[in-house]
Amino acid sequence: MHSSVFTAIQDDLKHVSTLISDALRTDEPRVVELLDDIGEFHGKMLRPAMLLQFARTLGDVTDDHRKLAAAIEMIHTATLIHDDMIDDGDMRRGQPTAHVRYGNSAAVLLGDYFYTHAFHLVASIQRPELSHQLTAVTNIVCQGELHQMCARRDLALEESEYNRIIYAKTAALTEISCAFGLINGAPEQQQAAAEYGRKCGMAFQIVDDCLDLSGNPEKVGKTLSTDIECGRLTLPFIHLLKLQQNEADKQRIGKQLLQVQNEQDVQAVREQVLSGGGVESAMSTARTYVAEAQQAIQVLPDTTIRQELLELAAFIVARDF
């Protein structure tokens, strides 16, 4: 990401990181050892950055904003820990994943540890409506993950259902991140921020699904092609099937996905989606979402902060390609 997008909030992001560390702190030596071994537990801090940037549109960033940003990052981290275990991904951010290092049981509990400490941190703000909103969104995220699992290997999956899945598992959290930045703002400002977050979240997940097929593992920093191995029909697959001229080709491609058994099969499916235009078509949809996100915040004052938010959205479709 362009450093200019983060320049004005560097100190706040450091504060958020400190809040996360403080929230997770424990006196139990064995747990301390595990947490120390994990080391740096967050990535690009995209969601906290969105929250903090929107907070700046109304003035100073408050302690409440920082706590909300820390809680959201902890919830996001918890979902990644659990996702990696479900997908059997062995790399995340260039490091072995939690379940690879500590086993599945420890990974489940570690994700839960992040969830509960996130909720406890928000409760300390003493604004019950914020806790209610965040727990409601976390329910949506978990529902989205379950929905995606139940929809595996369903060649009849429509784009509308895929959109519901990725809204729930990804976009709902970016939506509330941006809305939380304007907790003290006017309703129309909160609505604009929420729409920006929702559209960015949709684009982010589509790009993630494209990177799973076309990305460089060293640049992306995590295990790729897990969608193929798990039989998930993401947008590149859905668009590839739509691009087929006849039913026989559609059935052939679908059968190829469902019968993946080894690395050679995975590579064959990957090449089919890339050469058939599935990734290119899905990326076009992601760019449309980004354009809509950028349009949503035109109601905000024309300042350097708004420009930085525009750049932040643009980064989503430029990352790691």
CA distances from 277 to 122, 172, 210 (A): 44, 28, 11
> Which pTM was predicted?
0.92
Output the domain CATH number for residue 108: 1.10.600.10
Integer angstrom CA distances of residue 162 from 127, 156, 282: 34, 11, 12
Query: In the structure encoding, which two tokens stand for residue 310, read together?
Result: 């525009």
Q: Residue 277 is which amino acid?
A: G
Number of domains in the chain: 1
**Upper half-sphere CA count for residue 248 (Cβ side, 13 Å):** 0
Enclosing domain of residue 291: 8-316
* Within a domain: 181: yes
How are beta strands 91-92 and 95-96 bridged, if at all? antiparallel
- Is residue 2 a part of any domain in this protein? no
- pLDDT tens by residue, the chain, 321 residues: 445 677 889 999 999 999 999 999 999 999 998 888 776 655 679 999 999 999 999 888 999 999 999 999 999 999 999 988 887 777 766 677 888 888 889 899 999 999 999 999 999 999 999 999 999 999 999 999 999 999 999 999 999 999 999 999 999 999 999 999 999 889 999 999 999 999 999 999 999 999 999 976 655 555 557 889 889 999 999 999 999 989 999 999 999 988 998 889 899 999 999 999 999 999 999 999 999 999 999 999 899 999 999 999 999 999 765
Examine residue 3 and state whether it is found in any structural domain, yes or no: no
Pure H helices in 182-317: 187-214, 217-220, 226-230, 235-243, 247-258, 263-275, 278-296, 304-316
| C-alpha to C-alpha distance for 182 and 151, rounded to whole angstroms | 35
- Domain for residue 212, yes or no? yes
What would the two tokens of residue 36 be? 């120390």
Q: Does residue 265 lie within any of the structural domains?
A: yes
How would you classify residue 45: left for phi > 0, otherwise alpha for psi between -120 and 50, otherwise beta? left
Identify residue 37 by its one-letter amino acid code.
D
Both tokens of 266, joined, read 């995975």
Q: Among 79, 103, 73, which residue's Cα sits nearest to residue 180?
A: 73
Q: Is residue 185 part of a domain?
A: yes
Q: What share of the chain is helix, strand, coil (3-state, %, to 5)?
A: 75, 0, 20
